[in-house]
A and B are shown apart, each in its own frame.
Chain A
Amino acid sequence: MVYVVGIDIGSAFSKAVVMAENKIIAYQVLPSGGNYKITAEQITEKTLAKAKLSLKDIAYTVAVGYGAASVSFSSETASDISCLARGVHYLFPDARTAIDIGGQFTRVFKLDGRGKATAFLLSEKCAAGSGRFLQVIARVLQIDLEDIGELSLKSKNRVDFNTGCAVFAESEAVSRVAEGAAKEDILAGLHRTLAAKIQTMVARIGLEPDCAVVGGGAKDIGLVKSIEQGLGYRLLVPEEPQIVAALGAALLAEEKVSKGG
């Protein structure tokens, strides 16, 4: 069997996927930390260990993401958008629009029936337009990032933010907590603010069904529901939304190997 690796070093999280014959063999997600080079080595080692493989068994490695250049052992680097489109297409062949909610940016793109991105929009590098917003508010509310989604669904009385800036929203959240607002209601407000920014991007590019949502932000069920409500449309969410770009990178690696004979 020919094994390949796709590795995505994001600003917040790193992901690696091992594939063989168009199937996922193993994957891993780790915080990126401060040293991307070490993170890249660690995550590859862990993923390969899961697959009971070592680096010499790997035919081809494609690196992607913010820290792609730090992956010293990669065969090549690829663009985020091409990997995301490949990954989305693999998971949802009928998807024609996709939203990627990452740690620094939100991307909205269109893709064709072969998994090629045909148009895309990138948010400004603004914390309030990316998954970073969730981290900022989670810290204020002293809750784990993973718990935000479920907790927010309990909201009965959404507290809307008066601002679209993560820094100002942080102070607003502090004030609302002091005034006795429930955490779930603040989270619901947070989701609405972020969802509104994302909806605007989707509207600009034009929603063509099916539409998938991927990236770390897609793990937040409250955020996904808020976007769905805003768009009036049901979104496709992968089981592991965070690994889509790494998956796309692995698919690209497979293509390279098969073309190379």
Chain B
Amino acid sequence: MSQYFTGVDIGSTMTKVVIMNQTTLASVIGPTGPEHRKLANRVMEEALAKAKLTFEDITYVVATGYGRINVPFADKQITEISCHARGVAHLLPEVRTVIDIGGQDSKGIKLKEGRAVDFVMNDKCAAGTGRFLEVTAEELGVSLEDMGRLSLEAKNKVEISSICTVFAAQEVVAKLSEGVALPDIIAGLHEAIAIRVYGMVRRLKIEREVALTGGGAKNIGLVKALEAKLGFPVLVPPEPLLTGAIGAALMGRDIVQEAVKKGETLVRSERRLTEASIFT
């Protein structure tokens, strides 16, 4: 009988689910949002439908991400650092350092033999996270998706002097009214995030190869700004949002294989999809 493993990654902004056996069979990315926080079950149902499986078919479910406690049907909760490391090591085995720029945090992870051996994280301050771009993009009246492309047209990148997101938002409005070209401002914003993230991750002693994951990796302008700081190109997985969920599914597979090897019985939750009743 075929075995199926599921990883559920509840980030601050997006909820990601993957179902795997030997390869990824289905993946779903949906918003987290205040009203979606307890609805991991919906995203799971969608992923099962895509994979043409029932919940009974799933061998093991691992939840990760900052909202992992909101997944009542998971067999195990594992930190996003471990899952991220596992996912990246699987997708890009040559990677030694991971930089993840999420919606409300950013982190650096050092990998050794496919495992996280050290990490740094900022989830205290919006500067250097996706939120910084979200807030400033809104102030500029540009959609988040267009920021990367637009910044590539910059001819004379401006310097954003504020670290704080609130003050940076004010600063970009002032720059606009001074007549500074939009691409030059956006390039300045990417530079500001790159400086902040690079400054943090550098504490880990960056080793090549470096992978960039999270929503930030989908922004070509930000990727280029970080590469300029690092002085070499970064690797970006095909779907940079899914590494945590893929890692979670793989961690589930590891747990099952380990249990089989040791002849232990596997502790699993009831196969019933419900909304989370406790959520933070």
* Chain A residues packing against B (C-beta within 8 Å): 34, 104, 124-127, 132, 136, 163-168, 174-175, 178
Given contacts A125-B164, A136-B166, contact A168 B177 (CB under 8 A): no
**A167 contacts B124, C-beta separation under 8 Å:** no
Q: Does B167 contact A (CB under 8 A)?
A: yes
Q: Which residue of B lies closest to A166 (CB)?
A: B166
* Chain B residues packing against A (C-beta within 8 Å): 34, 104, 124-126, 131-132, 135, 162-167, 174, 177
Given contacts A125-B162, A126-B164, A127-B166, contact A167 B34 (CB under 8 A): no
A175 smallest CB distance to B (angstroms):
5
Q: How far is the CA of A165 from the CA of B163 in the complex (A)?
A: 12
A187 smallest CB distance to B (angstroms):
18
From A124, A127, A164, A175, name the one whose CB has the most chain B CB atoms within 10 angstroms: A127
Q: How far is the CA of A124 from the CA of B131 in the complex (A)?
A: 19
Q: A164, A167, A175, A178: which contacts B165 (Cβ < 8 A)? A: A167
Q: B124, B135, B163, B165: which contacts A124 (Cβ < 8 A)? A: B163
Q: How far is the CA of A168 from the CA of B13 in the complex (A)?
A: 12
A111 smallest CB distance to B (angstroms):
28
A171 smallest CB distance to B (angstroms):
8
Q: B104, B124, B174: which contacts A164 (Cβ < 8 A)? A: B124
B103 smallest CB distance to A (angstroms):
11
Q: Which residue of A lies closest to B122 (CB)?
A: A165
Given contacts A175-B34, A178-B34, contact A167 B174 (CB under 8 A): no
Given contacts A34-B177, A167-B131, contact A125 B163 (CB under 8 A): yes
Q: How far is the CA of A174 from the CA of B34 in the complex (A)?
A: 10
B70 smallest CB distance to A (angstroms):
14
Q: How far is the CA of A178 from the CA of B37 in the complex (A)?
A: 14
Q: Which residue of B lies closest to A163 (CB)?
A: B124
Q: How far is the CA of A136 from the CA of B104 in the complex (A)?
A: 18
**A167 contacts B163, C-beta separation under 8 Å:** no
Q: A125, A164, A178: which contacts B167 (Cβ < 8 A)? A: A125
The contact sample of 7 A-B pairs, CB cut-off 8 A, is A124-B164, A126-B125, A127-B165, A167-B131, A167-B166, A168-B131, A178-B34
Q: Which residue of B lies closest to A35 (CB)?
A: B177
Given contacts A34-B174, A127-B167, contact A165 B125 (CB under 8 A): yes
B34 smallest CB distance to A (angstroms):
5
Contacts beyond the supplied A127-B165, A167-B166, A178-B34: 7 A-B pairs with Cβ under 8 Å: A126-B164, A127-B164, A164-B124, A165-B125, A165-B165, A167-B135, A175-B34
Q: How far is the CA of A39 from the CA of B265 in the complex (A)?
A: 75
Pairs of residues from A and B, 7 with the lowest C-beta to C-beta distance, nearest first? A127-B166, A167-B126, A167-B165, A165-B125, A126-B164, A166-B166, A127-B164
Q: A125, A165, A178: which contacts B124 (Cβ < 8 A)? A: A165
B161 smallest CB distance to A (angstroms):
9
Q: Which residue of B lies closest to A168 (CB)?
A: B126
**A132 contacts B104, C-beta separation under 8 Å:** no
User: Which A residues are CB-close (under 8 A) to B164?
Assistant: 124-127, 166
User: Which B residues are CB-close (under 8 A) to A168?
Assistant: 104, 126, 131
Q: How far is the CA of A188 from the CA of B262 in the complex (A)?
A: 55
User: Which B residues are CB-close (under 8 A) to A164?
Assistant: 124-125
Q: B124, B126, B163, B166: which contacts A132 (Cβ < 8 A)? A: B166
From A34, A163, A165, name the one whose CB has the most chain B CB atoms within 10 angstroms: A165
User: Which B residues are CB-close (under 8 A) to A163?
Assistant: 124
